[in-house]
């Protein structure tokens, strides 16, 4: 068996490739020096451990002896985990997108020895097919070009880098004030692309993109626009009914390949669970519909059961591919862990429950996945579970009471869960990433407050303490991005600092522990110090000092995850409203000015930043509770605040940490219980109304 240098790495993705015949190097000086000394181009392959097409390219090309021999002889091969090193990925993805008009993973890029890209793409098939060159063909062509026309290749690479630098330059150009006209324009653009039949925006493939929900729900709250809420509600319900939702084990898959959320790409990512848990929580806060609360619990149960580190933090993802037959563990297929034959279901459930289940979840005797949605035939004869018929429809179909059907289906799901647990689970990526954990901590803290689930808040607190104990040095405010197999590594990026600062803010509001608020402030201060562009406004994704990075980019696109700039603006605005610190507010304003042109011309690219801008555009609003935590009267007011959607407000506690809060908000020192009763002070723009001591008196002030 081959073994290369990746065997010494901690990244699950890199370790997956440690036994390829390709002589892989990790990103670093050893590989760069080899390329310079031998004057060889670099082949850079970027992916992640739960990536389906990364696995395909590995099987087809990187495990092939002929391909490996040629690659090793003519290039210096480097592997990068995009989740561990998004800074590297972002630079070369920008190149491939500019050069080809598309992108994705695996990302395949060829570089000069000084790391400048000159050719790139994504997945390459092993052989020439369908008018596309095979991987070995591309390798031979580029090796020949390097040998015979190296000067032109190097010249091209230099021009490409210059063009990339010009592309990012507009981020420094402001676009004026971001106000109601921008928010309305963004709403109209989302409205134009909304799919009223199936929910979601645009056609297939369909991605959840919760950042869109974040903007639309705040637009609804700010303007009263009912259509904005309905677009979110329709999409969330359609997703919950579709195959993108795991109806047996909970949680959501990455995206759907079709327009009706039916056939998913089966990987499960922590950041999707976190953001969707927030979206369902906020939908519940606005509507009071228990359906949404049920979906929050569905997601959280999955995460706490299947993605939790023994010490409380959260793992990154579960793979799309899994073992088809335990007798042949080397053979994997996409979704094998999740799909069912009709015969399996009948055998496990028995009649009449099996028939109820098949009707409810769209199970067909020959399988329910059309060939057009299964180009590789991996799902032939299998069924993806989705809600084909509503519960009351199912009851009418079988002339049974809804309650009887509901009980029968719940027991059926339990049996299928137990049967599925005996299958070989998909690979789990067990690295802990700060930014994704930050999103999950926020989700748990917010859901815990809203649904009055103290267990969620305890889980959030345990995860936060893991990050602070193992990945953060309070004395230097240094943060590490990744923890895996006992090692913290990789200097943290903007999104790590911003997501953790936001998570600790949410955790303070849920626990009133001053430690969390003070660390949130410390992280925000470090963020300004290390990432802010003080001249142009906004924030760089990386700190200074890494010579291997050709460009220092500002990430501004809110895609599957919110961008570091959007997260930063959001947490700075909230901290400014709680602490009154003008430096936080000014930095948020400068960032919005820096991205003003983007927000005016392409607002759908940054809905999370729009959500932060909406908060900044409103007068600061603070709610201060005074009294002892645990007092029934204080807890009743706290629950009332938590169950409401109040995106423009921050919550403080004038209790044990009052003197420390008073350093930022002197008025807090004068706030206390009234006539021995816990009190609530509702303030706007740092001016407070008279305190109230009951939920009944508090409700009108919140509304």
pLDDT tens, position by position, 386-440: 999 999 999 999 999 999 999 999 999 999 999 999 999 999 999 999 999 999 9
**Residues 465-491: tens digit of each pLDDT:** 999 999 999 999 999 999 999 999 999
Chosen domain end from 154, 172, 190: 172
The number of folded domains in the chain is 2
Residue 431: phi and psi, rounded to 5, are: -90, 150
Q: Using alpha carbons, select from 63, 45, 52 the residue that is nearest to residue 108.
A: 45
Lookup: tokens for 531: 């990432």
**Residues 554-570: tens digit of each pLDDT:** 999 999 999 999 999 99
**What's the whole-number mean pLDDT along residues 261-272?**
97
**What's the whole-number mean pLDDT along residues 169-179?**
63
Neighbours of 518 (CB within 10 A): 16
Residue 660: phi and psi, rounded to 5, are: -75, -40
Question: Does residue 26 fall inside a structural domain?
Answer: yes
Task: Return the pLDDT at 1.
Answer: 82
**Which pLDDT band, with edges at 50, 70 and 90, does 174 fall under?**
low
- Please say whether the dihedral angle defined by the alpha carbons of residues 551, 556, 562 and 568, taken in this order, is positive or negative: positive
- pLDDT of 173 > 60? The answer is no
**What's the whole-number mean pLDDT along residues 208-228?**
97
Question: Does residue 120 fall inside a structural domain?
Answer: yes
Lookup: tokens for 427: 């690979």
Q: Using alpha carbons, select from 523, 515, 520, 701 the residue that is nearest to residue 625.
A: 701
**Which pLDDT band, with edges at 50, 70 and 90, does 130 fall under?**
confident
Top-confidence residue, 519 or 648 = 519
> Could you tell me if 610 and 565 are in contact, meaning their C-beta atoms sit under 8 angstroms apart?
no
Question: Does residue 509 fall inside a structural domain?
Answer: no
- pLDDT of 550 > 90? The answer is yes
**What's the whole-number mean pLDDT along residues 258-263?**
97
Task: Return the pLDDT at 491.
Answer: 97
Task: Provide the residue range defining the domain that includes 46.
Answer: 5-172
Chosen domain end from 172, 190, 221: 172
Task: Return the pLDDT at 169.
Answer: 63
Q: How big is the chain, counted in residues?
A: 703
Task: Return the pLDDT at 456.
Answer: 98
**What's the whole-number mean pLDDT along residues 83-102?**
94
Q: Look at the block and give the residue holding tokens 């009948």.
A: 346
Question: Does residue 25 fall inside a structural domain?
Answer: yes
- Percentage of residues in the chain having pLDDT higher than 90: 91
> Could you tell me if 38 and 76 are in contact, meaning their C-beta atoms sit under 8 angstroms apart?
yes
Lookup: tokens for 322: 């899994």
Q: Using alpha carbons, select from 266, 208, 268 the residue that is nearest to residue 237.
A: 208
Question: Does residue 62 fall inside a structural domain?
Answer: yes
**What's the whole-number mean pLDDT along residues 501-521?**
97
Q: From CA 560, how far away is CA 215, in angstroms rounded?
A: 14
Task: Return the pLDDT at 687.
Answer: 86
Task: Return the pLDDT at 166.
Answer: 80
**What's the whole-number mean pLDDT along residues 22-29?**
98
Question: Does residue 315 fall inside a structural domain?
Answer: no
- pLDDT of 588 > 80? The answer is yes
- pLDDT of 296 > 60? The answer is yes
- Percentage of residues in the chain having pLDDT higher than 70: 98
Cα angle value 447/622/610 (rounded, 5°): 65
- pLDDT of 215 > 90? The answer is yes
Q: From CA 283, how far away is CA 213, in angstroms rounded?
A: 9
Burial of residue 644 (number of CB atoms within 10 Å: 0-12, 13-18, 19+): middle
Beta strands 268-269 and 255-256, pairing class? unpaired
Lookup: tokens for 301: 């149960």
**Residues 341-386: tens digit of each pLDDT:** 999 999 999 999 999 999 999 999 999 999 999 988 999 999 999 9
Cα separation values, 37 from 22, 29, 41, Å: 20, 12, 11
| Cα R_g (the chain), whole angstroms | 26
* SS3 of 511-539: HCCHHHHHHHHHHHHHHHHHHECCCCCCE
Lookup: tokens for 500: 């953790």
Beta strands 76-81 and 25-26, pairing class? parallel
Question: Does residue 257 fall inside a structural domain?
Answer: no
Task: Return the pLDDT at 160.
Answer: 86
Which residues 6+ apart lie within 8 Å of 385 measured at CB?
A: 243, 247, 248, 338, 340, 361, 362, 363
Q: Using alpha carbons, select from 120, 119, 108, 117 the residue that is nearest to residue 51.
A: 108
- pLDDT of 175 > 70? The answer is no
Q: Is the pTM of this model over 0.95?
A: yes
Task: Return the pLDDT at 658.
Answer: 74
**What's the whole-number mean pLDDT along residues 322-338?**
93
Chosen domain end from 137, 172, 207: 172
Question: Does residue 581 fall inside a structural domain?
Answer: no
Neighbours of 457 (CB within 10 A): 21
Q: From CA 308, how far away is CA 304, in angstroms rounded?
A: 5
**Residues 43-77: tens digit of each pLDDT:** 999 999 999 899 999 999 999 999 999 999 999 99
Q: CATH number, domain at 109?
A: 3.40.30.10
Q: DSSP letter at 8?
A: G
């Amino acid at each position: 068996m081959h073994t290369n240098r990746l065997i010494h790495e901690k990244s699950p993705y890199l370790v997956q490739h440690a036994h390829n015949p390709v002589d892989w190097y990790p990103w670093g000086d050893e590989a760069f020096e080899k390329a310079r000394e031998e004057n060889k181009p670099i082949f850079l392959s970027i992916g992640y451990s739960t990536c389906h097409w990364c696995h395909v390219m590995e099987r087809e090309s990187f495990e092939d002896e002929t391909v490996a021999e040629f690659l090793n002889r003519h290039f210096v091969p480097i592997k990068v985990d995009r989740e561990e090193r998004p800074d590297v990925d972002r630079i070369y993805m920008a190149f491939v997108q500019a050069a080809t008009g598309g992108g994705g993973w695996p990302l395949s890029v060829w570089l000069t020895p000084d790391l400048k890209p000159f050719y790139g793409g994504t997945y390459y098939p092993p052989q020439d097919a369908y008018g596309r060159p095979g991987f070995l063909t591309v390798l031979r062509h580029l090796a020949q070009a390097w040998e015979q026309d190296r000067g032109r290749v190097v010249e091209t690479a230099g021009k490409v880098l210059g063009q990339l630098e010009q592309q990012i330059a507009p981020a420094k150009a402001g676009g004026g004030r971001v106000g109601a006209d921008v928010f309305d324009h963004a709403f109209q653009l989302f409205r134009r692309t909304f799919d009223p039949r199936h929910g979601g925006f645009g056609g297939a493939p369909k991605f959840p993109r919760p950042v869109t929900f974040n903007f639309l729900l705040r637009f609804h709250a700010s303007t009263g626009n009912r259509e904005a809420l309905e677009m979110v509600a329709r999409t969330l319900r359609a997703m919950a009914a579709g195959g993108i939702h795991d109806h047996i084990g909970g949680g959501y898959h990455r995206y759907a390949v079709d327009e009706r959320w039916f056939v998913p790409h089966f990987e499960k990512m922590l950041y999707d669970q976190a953001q969707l848990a927030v979206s369902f929580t906020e939908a519940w806060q606005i509507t009071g519909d228990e359906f949404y609360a049920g979906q929050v619990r569905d997601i959280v149960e999955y995460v706490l059961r299947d993605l939790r580190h023994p010490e409380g933090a959260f793992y990154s993802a579960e793979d799309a591919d899994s073992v088809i037959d335990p007798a042949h563990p080397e053979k994997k297929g996409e979704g094998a862990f999740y799909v069912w034959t009709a015969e399996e279901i009948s055998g496990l459930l028995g009649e009449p429950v099996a028939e109820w289940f098949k009707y409810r979840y769209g199970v067909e005797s020959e399988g329910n996945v059309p060939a057009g949605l299964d180009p590789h035939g991996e799902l032939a004869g299998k069924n993806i579970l989705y809600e084909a018929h509503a519960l009351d429809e199912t009851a009418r179909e079988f002339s049974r009471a809804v309650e009887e059907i509901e009980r029968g289906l719940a027991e059926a799901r339990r049996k299928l869960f137990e049967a599925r647990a005996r299958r070989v689970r998909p690979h789990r990526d067990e690295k802990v990433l700060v930014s994704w954990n930050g999103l999950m901590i926020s989700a748990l803290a917010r859901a815990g407050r809203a649904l009055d689930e103290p267990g969620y808040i305890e889980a959030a607190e345990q995860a936060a303490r893991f990050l602070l104990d193992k990945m953060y040095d309070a004395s230097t405010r240094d943060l590490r991005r990744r923890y895996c197999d006992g090692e913290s590594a990789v200097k943290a990026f903007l999104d790590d600092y911003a997501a953790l600062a936001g998570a600790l803010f949410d955790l303070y509001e849920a626990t009133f522990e001053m430690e969390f608020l003070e660390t949130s402030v410390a992280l925000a201060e470090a963020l300004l110090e290390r990432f802010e562009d003080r001249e142009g406004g906004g924030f760089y994704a990386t700190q200074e000092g890494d010579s291997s990075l050709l460009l220092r980019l500002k990430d501004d696109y809110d895609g599957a995850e919110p961008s570091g700039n959007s997260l930063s603006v959001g947490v700075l605005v909230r901290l400014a409203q709680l602490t009154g610190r003008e430096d936080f507010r000014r930095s948020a304003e400068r960032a919005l000015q820096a991205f003003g042109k983007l927000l005016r011309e392409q607002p759908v690219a940054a809905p999370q930043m729009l959500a932060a801008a909406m908060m900044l555009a409103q007068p600061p609003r603070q709610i201060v509770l005074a009294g002892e935590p645990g007092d029934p009267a204080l807890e009743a007011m706290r629950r009332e605040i938590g169950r409401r959607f109040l995106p423009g407000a921050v919550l403080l506690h004038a209790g044990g940490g009052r003197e420390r809060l008073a350093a930022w908000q002197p008025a807090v020192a004068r706030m206390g219980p009234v006539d021995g009763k816990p009190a609530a002070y509702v303030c706007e723009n740092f001016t407070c109304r008279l305190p109230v001591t009951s939920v009944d008196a508090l409700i009108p002030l919140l509304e």
